[in-house]
Amino acid sequence: MSLVGKHVLITAGPTHEPIDPVRVIANRSSGRQGYAIAAAAEELGARVTLVSGPVSLETPPDVNRVDVETAEQMAEAVIAALPADVAILVAAVADWRVEASTTKLKKGDGPPKLKFVPTRDILAEISSHPQRPHLVVGFAAETDRVVENAIAKQVGKRADWIVANDVSGDVMGGTRNRVHLVTADGIEDWPEDSKEEVARHLMRRVAQEFE
């Protein structure tokens, strides 16, 4: 099983959306699952581009890492990395951003009035892009109705696969994961395992698509 000659594009980690020079909208993503997938793709011989939000992880060997901070920067980096054979969008991208203040907001001024606007939908953009990868895989981090929400996301975003997991526990900061793979052929319930083994299993499934 091999991905030699294939370009695999992966996003990982959180994004940080500035509120002011010292505060951001962020989330608990550690980036571990995305980085494990990047390493597993490289192990199968793929050329790997890893677009990473702010994390404190070492780059897997022989992986081309592009560091970004915001959802806008991540979207631009993903588009710039095309064409790719596979896109696996693991990053926990912030759904909202605000118009950032150029000066620090003061507590004494009371709660700030923040106007939230949606960030770019990277999965939907890639799924409809003229250079759409052969296989587009999204991740759905859910706290309830995990599989139902993943199926809805697959249809709504026009993704080929969705990897769904329950993040109501410590998954986003932990070392283990239990996922469901939603494809056009149905739903696969994978047993809980280390994030590294989940990554290897996923990349073996990806490699099967090209055999």
Supply the residues annotated as catalytic: 27
Which secondary-structure segment (H or E) carries 10?
Answer: strand 7-12
What distance in Å separates the CA atoms of residue 139 and residue 136, rounded to the nearest whole number?
A: 10
Please answer whether residues 73 and 94 qualify as being in contact, where contact means their C-beta atoms are separated by less than 8 angstroms. no
Per-residue b or e along 10-28, where b marks 16 or more CB atoms closer than 10 Å to that residue's CB:
bbbbbbbbbbeeeebbebe
Going by C-beta distance under 8 Å and a sequence separation of 6 or more, which residues neighbour residue 99?
115, 117
